[in-house]
Each structure stands twice: as structure tokens, then as C-alpha cells.
């Protein structure tokens, strides 16, 4: 068991070195495999399991996160409470994401976060598909400035660029 753990750890370190080399060349890199690794347990959030992709774009100094939020398939956003709850969950997720040790190596390549949340629907043929229902773009320094004090989720759109149409496609 320890040998397997050691081999996986060594493989991850090699993978991180390859990612850093690609980022230094200006290439976009998907670090999703690091996120999905179960080698070490980290502080978690209910959205962590919903992460389907994480890419770092060094040219834009941006990390892009794609969340498939199946728990929101049946949520109606007609009431403001559901929208405010979503903003709180996204804010909490992003603040935890900033300090996740799996991404600390890449902080020199990241100044902002772009988050796309999708939920599932069924088309007229009965096929399932994902559609984006929330887009968020935020500067990391501005997000960090809010940590440690009470954050009102109603003010989330003033912190970040938010595109949200009560659960419809954005």
C-alpha cells in the first residue's frame, strides 16, 4: 500500500512539473487530474465533487472552472432565497478553492477565476444535456479582500461579474 501511495505521489509530482513547464511556455493546461486525485483528503465543499474541469490559461492569467451542479436540476430560482443561497455557495466554494493546496503551485499563473455552472435538462427527444445557468468572473485579489469578514451574498454581483437569468441558459 505504501509503495502504491509513493508511486502515485511521484507520478503527480512529475505531472505538476510538466504542467509548470507548459504554463511557462504560455500553453493552456488542464489540471483536472490533480483535482480528482484521492491521494490526500482536503477541506471540501459540496461543489468539489461537481468539478468537471479546471484549466489554467497563463496568457489571460485565469483559472477556468466548470461545475456540473446536478443538485440544482430541480431548483427553481423564482424565489430570491434560492438565488441568494446559490451566491453564498459559490462564494464559499471560490474562497476555499483559492487556498486549496493542489493549486498552490500554480498561483503565479493565476490572477482571476472564471466559473461556469451547468445543470442538466432533458431535450424534446428525452436526451439529457448540460446547459450553463451561471457565469462568474472575479479577480483573486478582490475575492481575498473579502475573506475574514462577513460577506453578504446579495452583494455577490458587486464583487464579481455575474451572469444569471433565474436558472435559464446564460
Domain containing residue 80: 2-164
pLDDT of amino acid 43 = 66
pLDDT of amino acid 2 = 67
pLDDT of amino acid 158 = 93
User: Does the residue 52 lie in any domain?
Assistant: yes
pLDDT of amino acid 42 = 63
User: Does the residue 57 lie in any domain?
Assistant: yes
**Buried b or exposed e, range 106-138, using 16+ CB within 10 angstroms:** beebbebbbbbbbbeeeeeeeeeebeebbebeb
pLDDT of amino acid 5 = 59
Count of domains forming the chain: 1
pLDDT of amino acid 8 = 66
Whether the Cβ atoms of residue 55 and residue 45 lie closer than 8 Å to each other: no
Report the residue count for the chain: 170
Which residue positions in the chain have pLDDT lower than 70? Answer: 1-6, 8, 37-43
On whether the pTM is more than 0.85, the answer is: yes
Instruction: Classify the C-alpha dihedral 14-20-24-30 as positive or negative.
Output: positive
pLDDT of amino acid 151 = 92
40: Cα within 13 Å, side-chain hemisphere = 11
Amino acid at each position: 500500500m505504501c509503495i502504491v501511495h509513493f508511486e502515485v505521489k511521484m507520478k503527480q509530482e512529475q505531472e505538476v512539473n510538466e504542467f509548470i513547464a507548459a504554463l511557462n511556455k504560455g500553453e493552456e493546461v488542464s489540471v483536472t487530474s490533480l483535482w480528482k486525485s484521492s491521494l490526500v483528503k482536503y477541506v471540501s465543499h459540496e461543489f468539489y465533487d461537481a468539478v468537471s474541469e479546471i484549466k489554467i490559461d497563463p496568457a489571460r492569467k485565469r483559472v477556468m472552472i466548470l461545475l456540473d451542479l446536478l443538485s440544482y436540476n430541480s431548483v427553481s430560482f423564482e424565489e430570491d432565497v434560492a438565488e441568494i443561497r446559490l451566491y453564498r455557495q459559490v462564494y464559499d466554494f471560490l474562497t476555499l478553492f483559492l487556498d486549496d493546496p493542489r493549486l498552490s503551485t500554480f498561483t503565479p499563473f493565476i490572477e482571476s477565476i472564471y466559473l461556469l455552472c451547468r445543470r442538466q435538462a432533458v431535450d424534446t427527444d428525452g436526451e439529457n444535456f448540460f446547459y450553463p445557468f451561471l457565469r462568474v468572473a472575479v479577480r483573486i485579489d478582490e475575492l481575498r479582500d473579502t475573506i475574514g469578514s462577513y460577506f453578504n451574498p446579495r452583494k455577490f454581483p458587486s464583487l464579481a461579474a455575474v451572469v444569471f437569468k433565474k436558472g435559464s441558459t446564460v
